[in-house]
Structure formats: C-alpha cells, structure tokens
C-alpha cells in the first residue's frame, strides 16, 4: 500500500515537472521566463493581433491561359500541316465554378483534311477531347484528369508564390496554407501576426505582376492605338501586339512588340528599389537575372545591337531602350512614383507572378493595441474568477478544498502544457474550452466530495467513505466526460477553425481532468489517511 | 460548511411554473426572432465590413454617421462599442468582396478627411504602420544630424508603434514618447516636424467577410452543433435509455434556443465567439443533466418498487448540494469574465451568464419531467393494453 502510493506520487511529480518544463523551459532570469512562455504558448491572432486572410485562387484564369496557349499552338500546327482552318476562339468562363466549362472552338476546318486534323489532335493534344459540332466545326474540352491537375497546380503555384511574398515581408511566423479541398475549393489561408498595414499587404499578396522583356519591332511609336492599327493596315504582323508605353502615369505612345518574351519574371534572380539617377525624385526597380536568363539575354542582345527592347509589366510597357551592346544580367524599370511603389514592385518581381488572379473572401485584422487589451483583460478576469472559486472551495470544503484547488491548478497546468507540446494555438474559443474544463474539473471534485459526505452520513468509516465516494462518483464522471468528448469529436470533424479550436482544447482539458480530479485527488486523500494511525475526522 | 443537508423538496411538484416560464421565454425569443427576421448575425456570418475606430475623447457619433453616409453608397451602421470606451463600430454591407474592400478605403479616407489633417503633408502617427514611419524618418533624421543606421531607425519606429499599441492604440502627445530609449531631443524634433496625431485610430480591428463565405460558415457551425447533439443523444441512449437521451438533448436545445432568443431580445449579435460560448453552454448543461440522470439510474437500481416521480425527486435532492456548488462556482468564474473581461469577451461571457442559469434549471425542470412524462404515458398505455392479461406479464421494470 505505502509502496504503491510512493510510486503513484513519484509519477505525479514527474508529470508535473514535465508539464512545467513544457511551459517555461529552463529560464535563467525573469525576462528569460517571459520569453520562454511566449515562445511555447502560441496565441491566436484574435488574442495577439494580426491579419487573417482567406483568399480564393481564380483557377478559371489559368484555364483561359491554357486555352489561349492551345489556340496559339494549333494555329502553328495546322499551318505547318497544311490544314486550312477558318478560325479559333474560346469561351470565357468568368466564375471559379465555371472553370470546368473551358472549351476551344475551331471553325471551318477543311472538310477534306478531317482525318489529318483528327490525327493532329490525337497525336499532340491528347489532354483535350475533340467533339465535332458539324461537318467543319469542332469543340475541344479539357479532360477531367487534366483539369484536376491544372486546378491543383494552379493552387499550389499560387500558394508558393504567396508564401514567398509573405516571407519577404519579414514577419515572425506567418502562415500560408491551403484551406479546404484544393480540387474544389482553391482557397488559401494567410495569417500574418503583427502586421500593421493590412491594406498594403493585401495588395502586395494579390499583385498579379507579370514581367517580360520583349523585342520592339522597328516601327512606331504611334500616338494612339487606332493610329497604330491604321499604320499597319488594320492587321498586325504574326506574333506581335500593340502595347502602350506608360511612364509615371502619362502615355509615351504605342509600340509594336513581339509576343514571345526574351526574358520573363521567372528569370529574375533579385530585384531592389533605388532612386532613379536620371530623374530626381523618381524611383526605379533594378533587377538581376538568373544565370540561364542572363545567357539568353546576352545572346539576344548581342545579335540585336541597334534594335530596341521593352520592359513590359502587366501589359504595359514600362521602359524602352535601344541595345547599345550585349547586356548580360541586369536591367531596370524606371519612372516609379515613390519609394513604397518601388519596394513593392521589387518584391513582386523577386517572387514571380501568380498563375491566376485571386479574390479575397475574408479578412479579419485585429490591431495590436486591441490584442494587448484583450490579453490584459482576459488574464485579469481569469485570475479574479479563479481566486473567487478557490476561496469558496476552501470555505466550503475546508482542507479537502485545498485538495480540489491543487487538482484544479494542476489541471490547468497540464492543459496548457499539452497545448504547448502539441504546438496548438490558443484562441478565444480555446479559452472558452478552458473555462468549460475548469467548470467540469470543479464539478468532478464537488461530485466526489458530496458523495464522501453522503457516505460519512450513513456511518461508514473515513477510509471506506473516501473509497466509496470516489467509486460512486467515478461512473458519473465517466459519463459526463465521455458525452462531452463524443460531442467534441463531431465538432472537430464537421466544424471549422474556431469550433475546432474549442473542441481540441476541451478534449485535452477533460483527459487532464480525469487524471487530476480522480487520480491525483485520490492519491492526496490516501496520503492523508495513510499516517498509520486511525484518522478521527476528515476535514471536508 | 454544508448548506443543503438532507433536503427534501418536491421539485417535480413545482415543475409547472418553471415549464411555463421556459415556454414564455422561448415564445418571447421566437417572437423577437420572427419580428426581426432571424438572429442578428455578426459580420462573420452575414458578410460585410466592420471597423473599430477609437477616438481620443467621446466620439462624435452623428458627425461620423453623416460623413460616412455621404461617402458610401449605402448607409453604414455606426454604434458605440461600449459606454465610456470612446470606441465606435462602423459596419457596412456590400454585395461582393471587391465592394467591401472599396468601402474600407472609403471609410478610411472619409475619416482622415474629417478628423485628420491629410493636407499638412505630415504622417498621422495614430494611423500608420512601423514600415511607413521608418521610411518617412530616414532622410529627415539624417538631415538633422542624427547618426542612425537604417535598422536602428526601423527599430525606433517599431518601438514607437509598440508604445502606441500598449497605450490603447492612440497617442495624444508626441512628447509622451520621450521615455523611449533612443528618443533624444533631436529625434523628437524630427518626429514633431514629420508627423502629427489625429484624434482617432482606425487600426484597431477590421473584419471583411464575403457574403457567401458568411452563409457557409453559419451553415457549418449549425451542422457541427446538430451532429454533436446527435452524438450525445446516441451515447446517452447507449448508457441509459433512449428517453434520457432525448430528454437531455431537448433540455440542451431549450437552453440554446432561449439564449439565442434573449440575445435577439437584447439586440445583441451572434458572432463567432458567441457560438463558442453556446458550445460551452451545451457542454455545461449536458454535464449537469447527466449527473442527475446518473443518480436516478443508481436509485432505480437500489429500489425498483418506488414510484419514478419519487425517485427523481430524491435524486434531484441528493445532487442538489452539488448542483448549487458547481453552478455557483462556474457562475462566479463567468461573472468575473463578464465584469472584467473587456469588450472582446463581452458577448461571449454574456451568453455564458445567461446560459448557466438556464442550463442549471433545465436539468431539473425540463430534462427530468420529460423522462417522467414519457414513462407515465408509456405505463398508461401498457396498462390499457394489458388490462385483460394476467398481471405477471406486465411487470418488467427497468
């Protein structure tokens, strides 16, 4: 008996030490203690302040891009194989849910070359399904498996790009993760602790900036698009497009440029903002290219000395320069209005382009000052409540009340330590879970004590009454706890973020409570009753 | 100390006043919900934009309302956050996400135009982030002959922002910053020359939720809760009898309905945190009910001849001391949360304060009578069914 009790006590002390270590580590000073607690207990954004963003990747954008690429490729292939085609177009799915409808229409295919055309599709575009509409018109739909891959890749790529952009902001512990099922939901969750300018961050994350450096055809520039078209007789040469040159908000004319870029955003190695040396007060973003990009750039510039190059950003020409000599690895985009714009552009260039647009579904920004207030008031009210409970317990149950208070404190310690070890985040709903845990922990002790009192009233000896009290209360405690754990299971499986947080905290708290209220409490009673001499009265 | 020793109240004898009170409360809640067209959902469940703006003194509610009504296409809601806190909560609706994002900028611009001095070329310290502050100070500090490298300036800006946030998010005098390390007289002069303090801050809390997401979130929370209730019902059925499960779940449902009804009567919003507290209340009330049911089961096993009504009464009396202690202690903790927990926890703790009172009496006066009613009804049916049969056939009791 004595031996058994010592083993149990040792186990309890060991667990308590492990828990305390989990919360405070080995602090060397008061500041160290604070730092350790802050590191071990992760507070949710609702408590410490920050931005919580849910965004949706507009996958239909990527589907449209893919369809456009298909049209370009088909145009080329039908020409080389001498299949006369009237024209191509695609539909324009506007909503995410319409992504699956993406289709390319091919009109007026030479009826004599039907077999050749079919072969071409089967051979080179097997990820598309060909459906004849009538004798000479066809429709191409994306295969479901290809579509699924496209969705998944688009979301993954967006996730990686956003992750790079967010990390470049230099915040501590930002979170960027998929939200919901990637194939259907295409949502991304971004959590930014301590961000103090959420509107700017939102713009930065959502910037679709696509950068390319292209060859400028040796014509123009024209004042307007119409003039340019008229100058070309209404038809643009193959693989070219007209783009406007914009510099600090004003038009610098329209240029005819090549559609195929020499360099794209993916060839960027780094970019940084700098003051524009040519025009005081203006800013620019200077960039350097990757090795591979630099090689291509050098080859191209060496072959085109005297010709012009344009830096195109988001369908606008940002600078045009004549190639003086072979350039290898750097360039700049000038004419930016301010330092912030230059910084943001440099960041977007560095992190690459998003494969599709994004839409914000949800934003929650808790300013840091509100977070500070919440924590202070939360802690104050928690401590006041705890002290009130402790005082009443001590008055009502005397020395046994002390036992219950110990169990209660221990429960809280075990719960918080478990959260720290699991790396779980403490949020407001989590605190709700802790409050219910404390309520149920108090309840377990009250149940046991009331049962012991009842048993004492029937005239049982003290050890027998304690045993019977614990024994009879046990099944009640099991029933209440299992019922709540069952409900938490459902909340966890079918609930979302905050509801889940509540469920996790509560389950941990209840498991801890079975340990503290039943096991630890009983051991303390056993010590009290094990003095060898007969115990005359129980302080309860 | 013992307050309730060997009590013997006839609880079930007093069930009607309580059942009627419950029905009245439920009906009042339903009427209020009916008149107002359902619960008043918080921004996270209905979609919209919500912004908390804190003023240095009592906020000019009417002025803010008229300025914003002029700036926005639809009239915003402008409410004081809590009496004496100088905070306003501004809410707007918008049919889609980009409209909501635009509204946010319109509100910020309108506030700056009315209460700030956007034309003076200075930076508003109460509505700025540390990054913008640092890049603004860099050159002027250098010109003023303060030798600080960029990281030092950034650290300085961050500490200014931290000071502001720890002092309610709103500074009233730039000179208050003097106590910060590194803030010499020269730096202070530069700060005074480059920045000013507007009498409000709009950086405390912003929420934007798209309308569709709000509806989804609401549906998900309701589904999860209903499934959780179903899970509890099945477990209690398995451990007791099905009618106990039904009684317990109906009692909990009753608590939730009344709490939502009272929220509607008081014109309080159902937010995410209120949902968390409703879940807490479900757990709490269920716990309470099971403790009594456990005792009823135990007493039924001890004495199979006693009338069920007497057994229930005795069980409630035996657990009375525990019921009062637990409810009282939990109530103390929740009350402390309500009184000292601050505005963020306000809706949360209010739901718990209401819920604990209702959850406690519903275990005694709703869950237990339901079990009794059903048993009486089933017994009555059994009697009429077995009226002509030999007596021994119909004596199986649980």
Fold of A2-49+367-529: Multidrug efflux transporter AcrB transmembrane fold (1.20.1640)
B256 and B158 in one domain?
no
Q: Answer whether residue B398 is part of any domain.
A: no
Express each pLDDT in B274-309 by its tens digit.
887 888 888 889 989 999 999 999 999 887 888 888
Picking from B169, B212, B325, the nearest residue to A446 by CB comes out as: B325
Structure tokens at A306: 């005297």
Question: Which of A308, A342, A303 minimizes the C-alpha distance to A323?
Answer: A308
Express each pLDDT in B34-91 by its tens digit.
998 888 888 878 888 888 888 888 888 888 888 888 888 888 888 887 666 788 888 8
CA–CA dist A38, A529 (Å, integer): 41
Q: Answer whether residue B371 is part of any domain.
A: yes
Q: Please report which confidence band the pLDDT of residue B392 belongs to, taking 50, 70 and 90 as the band edges.
A: very low
Cα dihedral A249, A254, A259, A262 sign:
negative
Q: Using DSSP bridges, classify how beta strands A425-426 and A268-275 pair: parallel, antiparallel or unpaired.
A: unpaired
Q: Is A501 left (phi over 0), alpha (psi -120 to 50) or beta?
A: alpha
B175 and B221 in one domain?
no
Structure tokens at B145: 């002959």
Give A384's contacts in chain B (Cβ within 8 Å). 336, 339-340
Cβ pair A506:B283 closer than 8 A: yes
CA–CA dist A510, A412 (Å, integer): 10
Is B224 touching A (CB cutoff 8 A)? yes
Range 36-95 of A in CB contact (< 8 A) with B: 46, 49, 54
Structure tokens at B74: 């639809």
B356 and B308 in one domain?
yes
B222 and B131 in one domain?
no
Is B164 touching A (CB cutoff 8 A)? yes
| Domains held by chain B: number | 2
Express each pLDDT in A371-414 by its tens digit.
777 777 877 888 888 888 899 999 998 888 898 899 989 998 99
Give how far the C-alpha of residue B150 lies from the chain's centroid of Cα atoms, to the nearest Å. Answer: 44
B344 and B214 in one domain?
yes
Range 361-420 of A in CB contact (< 8 A) with B: 361-374, 376-378, 380-382, 384-386, 388-389, 392-393, 395-398
What is the value of pTM for the model shown? Answer: 0.72
Q: 3-state class of A126 per DSSP? A: coil
Is A274 touching B (CB cutoff 8 A)? no
Structure tokens at B332: 């103390």
CA–CA dist A531, A137 (Å, integer): 98
Q: In the block, which residue shows the tokens 């030798």?
A: B147
Q: What is the DSSP secondary-structure string of A512-537? A: HHIIIIIIIHHHHHHHHHTSSSPP--
Give the ranges where A245-331 is alpha helix by DSSP (H): 291-303
Structure tokens at B197: 């303090």
Q: What is the dihedral of CA B247, B250, B251, B252, to 10 degrees?
A: 130
B128 and B181 in one domain?
yes
The answer, yes or no, to whether the previous bond of A322 is cis (omega within 30 of 0) is no
Question: Which of A465, A473, A467, A482 minimizes the C-alpha distance to A448?
Answer: A473
Give A376's contacts in chain B (Cβ within 8 Å). 342
For chain B, the C-alpha Rg in angstroms (whole number) is: 30
Give A517's contacts in chain B (Cβ within 8 Å). none
Q: What is the H or E stretch that residue A211 is in?
A: strand A211-216
In A8-146, at which residue ranges do the beta strands (DSSP E only) sit?
42-43, 50-57, 87-90, 103-107, 128-132, 138-142
pLDDT above 90 as % of chain B: 13
CA–CA dist A313, A213 (Å, integer): 9
Number of C-beta neighbours around residue A86 at 10 A: 11
pLDDT of residue B398: 39
Average pLDDT of every residue of chain A: 82
Cα dihedral A78, A80, A84, A87 sign:
positive
Cβ-count burial of A394 within 10 angstroms (0-12 exposed, 13-18 middle, 19+ buried)? middle
Picking from A381, A479, A506, the nearest residue to B340 by CB comes out as: A381
Q: Answer whether residue B394 is part of any domain.
A: no
Give A487's contacts in chain B (Cβ within 8 Å). 228-229, 231-232, 282-283, 286
The CATH number of residue B284's host domain is 1.20.1640.10
Residue of B332, B348, B360 to mutate, interface with A, max A Cβ within 10 Å: B332
Residues 6+ apart with CB under 8 A from A527: A5, A9
Q: Which of B159, B183, B209 represents a domain boundary (last residue)?
A: B209
Number of C-beta neighbours around residue A42 at 10 A: 18
Give B52's contacts in chain A (Cβ within 8 Å). 367, 370
Q: What is the H or E stretch that residue A188 is in?
A: strand A187-193
Question: A228 and A242 in contact (C-beta within 8 Å)?
Answer: yes
End-to-end CA distance of chain B: 37
3-state secondary structure A247-272: ECCEEEEEEEEECCCCEEHHHEEEEE
Mean pLDDT over A114-142 rounds to 87
pLDDT at B255 over 90: yes
B308 and B235 in one domain?
yes
Cβ pair B322:A506 closer than 8 A: no
B163 and B29 in one domain?
no
Q: Answer whether residue B395 is part of any domain.
A: no
Helix, strand, coil percent content, chain A, rounded in steps of 5: 55, 20, 25
pLDDT of residue B389: 46
Residue of A365, A382, A390, A496 to mutate, interface with B, max B Cβ within 10 Å: A365
Q: Please report which confidence band the pLDDT of residue A1 belongs to, taking 50, 70 and 90 as the band edges.
A: low
Question: A442 and B329 in contact (C-beta within 8 Å)?
Answer: yes
Cβ pair B290:A480 closer than 8 A: yes
CA–CA dist A298, B154 (Å, integer): 39
Number of C-beta neighbours around residue A527 at 10 A: 14
Is B284 touching A (CB cutoff 8 A)? yes
Q: Answer whether residue B201 is part of any domain.
A: yes
Per-domain residue ranges for chain A?
2-49+367-529, 59-145, 211-332
Cα dihedral A402, A404, A405, A409 sign:
positive
Cβ pair A484:B286 closer than 8 A: yes
Q: Answer whether residue B1 is part of any domain.
A: no
B220 and B164 in one domain?
no
pLDDT at A416 over 50: yes
Q: Answer whether residue B5 is part of any domain.
A: no
CA–CA dist A306, A325 (Å, integer): 8
Structure tokens at B23: 């029905």
Report helix angle A462-494 to A497-513, nearest 10.
160
Question: Which of A454, A506, A510 minimizes the C-alpha distance to A477?
Answer: A510
pLDDT at B395 over 70: no
CA–CA dist B136, B161 (Å, integer): 14
Is A339 touching B (CB cutoff 8 A)? yes
Q: What is the ipTM of this complex?
A: 0.77
B204 and B330 in one domain?
no
Is B159 touching A (CB cutoff 8 A)? no
pLDDT above 70 as % of chain B: 95
User: What number of C-beta contacts closer than 8 Å exist between A and B?
Assistant: 271
Instruction: Pick the residue from chain B with its C-alpha nearest to A483.
Output: B232
Is B182 touching A (CB cutoff 8 A)? no
Comparing A466-470, B250-254, B269-273, the range with the smallest average pLDDT is: B269-273
- Domain around B298: 12-41+210-384
Q: 3-state class of A181 per DSSP? A: coil
Mean pLDDT over B184-203 rounds to 88
Structure tokens at B7: 């009590």
Q: Is A415 left (phi over 0), alpha (psi -120 to 50) or beta?
A: alpha
Q: Which of B185, B209, B233 represents a domain boundary (last residue)?
A: B209
B189 and B225 in one domain?
no
Is B241 touching A (CB cutoff 8 A)? no
Mean pLDDT over B336-365 rounds to 86
Instruction: Pick the residue from chain B with its C-alpha nearest to A397.
Output: B1
pLDDT above 70 as % of chain A: 93
pLDDT of residue B390: 46
Q: Using DSSP bridges, classify how beta strands B77-80 and B87-92 pair: parallel, antiparallel or unpaired.
A: antiparallel
Give B220's contacts in chain A (Cβ within 8 Å). 494-496, 499
CA–CA dist A147, A127 (Å, integer): 9
Express each pLDDT in B15-25 by its tens digit.
888 889 999 99
B291 and B170 in one domain?
no
More confident residue, A27 or A321: A27
Mean pLDDT over A333-346 rounds to 72
The b/e string for B108-144 (b: 16+ C-beta within 10 A; e otherwise) is: bebbbebbbeeeeebbbbbbbbbbbbbbbbbebbeee
CATH architecture designation of domain A211-332: 2-Layer Sandwich (3.30)
pLDDT at B391 over 50: no
Q: Which of B193, B209, B225 represents a domain boundary (last residue)?
A: B209
More confident residue, B97 or B337: B337
Q: Please report which confidence band the pLDDT of residue A13 belongs to, taking 50, 70 and 90 as the band edges.
A: very high
Express each pLDDT in A145-189 by its tens digit.
888 888 888 888 888 888 877 877 777 778 888 876 655 678 888
């Amino acid at each position: 008996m004595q031996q058994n009790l010592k083993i149990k006590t040792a186990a309890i002390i060991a667990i308590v030490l492990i828990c305390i270590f989990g919360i405070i580590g080995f602090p060397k000073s008061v500041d160290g203690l604070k730092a350790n607690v802050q590191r071990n207990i992760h507070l949710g954004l609702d408590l410490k302040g920050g931005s919580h963003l849910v965004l949706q990747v507009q996958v239909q954008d990527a589907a449209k891009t893919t369809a456009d690429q298909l049209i370009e490729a088909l145009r080329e292939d039908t020409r080389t194989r001498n299949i006369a085609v009237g024209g191509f177009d695609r539909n324009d799915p506007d909503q995410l849910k319409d992504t699956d409808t993406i289709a390319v229409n091919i009109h007026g295919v030479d009826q004599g070359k039907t077999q050749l055309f079919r072969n071409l599709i089967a051979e080179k575009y097997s990820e598309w399904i060909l459906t004849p509409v009538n004798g000479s018109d066809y429709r191409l739909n994306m295969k479901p498996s290809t579509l699924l891959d496209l969705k998944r890749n688009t979301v993954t790529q967006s996730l990686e790009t956003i992750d790079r952009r967010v990390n470049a902001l230099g915040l501590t512990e930002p979170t960027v993760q998929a939200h919901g099922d990637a194939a259907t939901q295409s949502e991304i969750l971004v959590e930014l602790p301590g961000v103090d300018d959420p509107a700017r961050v939102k713009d930065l994350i959502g910037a679709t900036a696509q950068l390319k450096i292209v060859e400028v055809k040796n014509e123009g520039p024209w004042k307007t698009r119409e003039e340019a078209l008229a100058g070309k007789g209404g038809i643009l040469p193959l693989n070219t497009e007209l783009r406007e040159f914009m510099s600090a908000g004003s038009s610098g004319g329209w240029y005819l440029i090549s559609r195929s870029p020499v360099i794209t955003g993916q060839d960027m190695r780094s970019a940084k903002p700098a003051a524009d040396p040519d025009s005081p007060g203006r800013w620019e973003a200077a960039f350097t290219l990757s090795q591979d990009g630099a090689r291509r750039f050098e080859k191209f510039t060496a072959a085109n000395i005297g010709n012009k190059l344009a830096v195109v950003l988001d369908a606008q020409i940002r600078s045009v320069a004549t190639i003086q000599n072979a350039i290898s690895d750097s360039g700049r985009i000038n004419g930016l209005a301010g330092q912030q714009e230059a910084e943001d552009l440099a960041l977007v260039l560095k992190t690459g382009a998003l494969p599709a647009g994004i839409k914000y579904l949800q934003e929650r920004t808790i300013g840091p000052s509100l977070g500070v207030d919440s924590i202070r008031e939360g802690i104050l009210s928690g401590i006041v409540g705890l002290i009130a409970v402790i005082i009443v317990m001590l008055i009502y149950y005397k020395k046994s009340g002390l036992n219950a208070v110990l169990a209660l404190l221990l429960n809280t310690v075990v719960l918080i330590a478990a959260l720290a070890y699991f790396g779980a985040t403490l949020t407001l709903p989590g605190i709700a879970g802790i409050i219910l845990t404390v309520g149920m922990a108090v309840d377990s002790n009250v149940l046991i004590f009331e049962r012991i009192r009842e048993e004492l009233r029937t005239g049982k000896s003290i050890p027998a009454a304690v045993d019977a009290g614990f024994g009879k209360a046990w099944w009640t405690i099991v029933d209440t706890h299992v019922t709540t754990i069952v409900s938490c299971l459902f909340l966890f499986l079918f609930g979302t973020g905050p509801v889940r947080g509540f469920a996790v905290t509560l389950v941990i708290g209840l498991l801890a409570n079975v340990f503290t209220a039943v096991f630890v409490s009983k051991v303390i009673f056993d010590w009290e009753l094990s003095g060898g001499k007969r115990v005359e009265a129980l302080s309860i | 100390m013992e307050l309730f020793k060997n009590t013997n109240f006839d609880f079930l004898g007093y069930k009607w006043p309580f059942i009627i009170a419950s029905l009245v409360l439920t009906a009042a809640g339903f009427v209020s919900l009916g008149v107002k067209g359902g619960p008043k959902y918080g921004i996270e469940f209905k979609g919209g934009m919500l912004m908390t703006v804190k003023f240095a003194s009592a906020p000019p509610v009417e002025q803010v309302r008229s300025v914003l009504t002029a700036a926005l296409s639809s009239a915003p809601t402008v409410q004081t956050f809590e009496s004496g806190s100088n905070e306003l909560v501004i809410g707007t609706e918008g049919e889609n996400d980009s409209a909501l994002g635009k509204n946010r900028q319109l509100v910020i611009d309108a506030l700056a135009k009315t209460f700030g001095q956007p034309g003076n070329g200075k930076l508003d310290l109460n509505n700025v982030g540390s990054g913008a502050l640092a890049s603004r100070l860099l050159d002027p500090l250098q010109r003023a002959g303060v030798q600080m490298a960029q990281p030092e300036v950034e650290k300085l800006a961050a500490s200014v922002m931290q000071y502001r946030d720890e002092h309610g998010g709103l500074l009233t005098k730039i000179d208050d910053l003097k106590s910060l390390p590194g803030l010499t007289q020269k730096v202070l002069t530069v700060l005074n020359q480059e920045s000013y303090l507007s009498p409000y801050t709009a950086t405390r809390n912003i929420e934007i939720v798209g309308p569709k997401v709000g509806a989804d979130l609401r549906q998900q929370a309701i589904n999860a809760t209903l499934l959780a209730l179903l899970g509890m019902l099945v477990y209690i059925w398995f451990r007791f009898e099905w009618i106990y499960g039904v009684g317990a779940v109906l009692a909990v449902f009753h608590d939730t309905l009344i709490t939502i009804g009272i929220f509607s009567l008081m014109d309080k919003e159902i937010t995410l945190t209120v949902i968390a507290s409703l879940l807490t209340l479900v757990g709490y009330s269920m716990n309470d009910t099971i403790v009594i049911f456990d005792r009823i089961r135990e007493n039924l096993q001890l004495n199979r001849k006693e009338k069920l009504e007497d057994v229930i009464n005795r069980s409630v009396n035996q657990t009375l001391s525990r019921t009062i202690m637990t409810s009282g202690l939990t109530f103390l903790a929740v009350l402390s949360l309500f009184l000292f927990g601050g505005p963020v926890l306000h809706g949360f703790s209010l739901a718990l304060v209401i819920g604990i009172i209702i959850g406690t009496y519903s275990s005694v006066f709703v869950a237990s009578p339901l079990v009794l009613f059903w048993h009486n009804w089933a017994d009555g049916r059994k009697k009429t069914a077995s009226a002509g049969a030999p007596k021994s056939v119909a004596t199986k009791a649980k």
